[in-house]
Amino acid sequence: MSAHISASPFDPWQAIASHQQDSALANKFGATATFIGSMRDFNDNADVSKMVLEHYPEMTQHFLNKLEQQAIQRWDLLDCLIIHRVGEINPADPIVLIACWSAHRRATLDACNWLIEELKHNAPFWKKETRQDGERWVAENTNGL
């Protein structure tokens, strides 16, 4: 189990593969579900050329750790990995990675669903987009979009 806040770009598939390789659970998990959120070059009807993600370092890390513990307990996961970018982000960069391992498929998919909604609605991160007409704080995350 681990939750990282990353100030530099990461390769999500490589991160999952390497986390999984270090795990002793290879023969025990029957299911892995993952979710990756990436930066689009378009939001809310405007082109976005860059983004800066601010966070509250101590609270954000504490929040991610708690989220993982809750997901593992509630869905009886074998393992869970969260990585979230901060700092300057470019189009196509992965922003968030969630991966859940369990004996059974329903647990992994439900936990992934829950974790991304918690991250979107409660984790202390804030996005500022750079558009043609300047910089702009994103006001609020949408429900499920």
Q: Which does 122 bind (CB under 5 to 8 A by kind): its own copies, other proteins, none?
A: other proteins
Least distance to other proteins, CB of residue 127, Å: 5
If one asks whether residue 29 binds its own copies (CB under 8 A), the answer comes out as yes
What CA–CA distance (Å, rounded) separates 108 from 115? 10
Q: According to CB under 8 A, which one of 8, 24, 27, 140 is a site residue for its own copies?
A: 27
Minimum CB distance to other proteins smaller for 64 or for 78: 64
Joined together, the tokens standing for residue 13 give: 């598939």
Q: How many residues bind its own copies (CB under 8 A)?
A: 38
Q: Which one-letter DSSP state was computed for residue 127?
A: E
Q: Cα dihedral angle (141, 142, 143, 145), rounded to 10 degrees?
A: -110
